[in-house]
Every structure is written in C-alpha cells, then in structure tokens.
C-alpha cells in the first residue's frame, strides 16, 4: 500500500510549489483572473506526494473544499479550490497559507504535548527506580 500524504504534506507541496507564482502577479498586465486564485497542476502535486492524480484531486476537491471553504456574513462563498474556464484548476492561495499556518500551529502544539508526556513518563520511571533501589 502506498503511503497516504497528510493534509499538511499536500498543503506544503502546494504552498512551496506555487508561492512564487502567487507573488509575481502583475496588476498592470495580469496573467490570471484574480491575484488570490493560483492555477495548480494536480499531476505535479501527486507525483511529489507519491500518489495518483485522482487521490490528490479528490482530497483537494472533496475534502479541502468542504472543510476550508466558507460563507461570509453577506452569504458569499469563498472556496478553497475552483475550476475556471480559462485557468483550469486553481486554489485560493491566501487560504492555503492560512490553513497551512493553522496546521503548523496544531503540529507544534501536539509536539509540545508529546514532549511533556514523554518527560512525565521519564520522571515517573526515574522516580520508580529511585524508590526501588534506594
């Protein structure tokens, strides 16, 4: 069975691969419809993540879009991922960056909890050893 990439790995790949594309948007002669929408190549992301193209497309279109798209106070929907007639598949790049930042914060928090738990176990084992051998 092939390894399934995490949301964090997919988002990192999209961010790293398309950050420069997002930054180089030209206001005078734009090369895409909107600055925040950055066209992506699902095939390249899939190869980098080591899975099939359908897996990445499905994760982005069905999972990420449902989980990270939102409706504002006026009822307007901001989507994570969209298909445009002229640009093909694209992501809302600032939303990708925001979700990625949240994922990093979650990971840091989890790493902290694991570190604290491991330290607690170590102190407990040390206390048991001291209690039995002293």
At 3-51, the pLDDT tens digits run 899 999 999 999 999 999 888 866 666 666 677 888 899 999 999 999 9
- Is 61 a member of any domain? yes
What CATH number is attached to the domain comprising 79?
1.10.10
Check if the beta carbon of residue 56 is closer than 8 Å to that of residue 29.
no
Q: What is the mean pLDDT of residues 103-130?
A: 95
The reported pLDDT for the residue numbered 86 is 59
Residue (of 79, 105, 75, 73) closest to 93 by Cα position: 79
- Is 74 a member of any domain? yes
- Domain residues for the domain of 51 are 7-107
- Is 94 a member of any domain? yes
At 58-115, the pLDDT tens digits run 999 999 999 999 998 999 988 898 887 656 788 999 999 999 999 999 999 999 999 9
- Is 134 a member of any domain? no
- Is 95 a member of any domain? yes
DSSP class of residue 134 equals -
Number of domains the chain is built from? 1
- Is 124 a member of any domain? no
């Amino acid at each position: 069975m092939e390894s399934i990439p995490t949301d964090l790995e997919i988002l990192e790949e999209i961010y790293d691969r398309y950050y420069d594309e997002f930054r180089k948007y030209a206001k005078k002669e734009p090369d895409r419809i909107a600055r925040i929408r950055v066209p992506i190549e699902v095939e390249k992301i899939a190869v980098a993540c080591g899975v099939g193209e359908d897996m990445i497309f499905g994760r982005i279109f069905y999972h990420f879009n449902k989980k990270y798209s939102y409706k504002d106070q006026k009822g307007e929907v901001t989507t994570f991922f969209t298909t445009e007639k002229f640009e093909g598949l694209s992501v809302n790049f600032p939303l990708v960056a925001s979700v990625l930042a949240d994922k990093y914060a979650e990971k840091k928090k989890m790493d902290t909890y694991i570190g604290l738990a491991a330290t607690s176990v170590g102190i407990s084992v040390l206390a048991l050893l001291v209690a039995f051998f002293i």
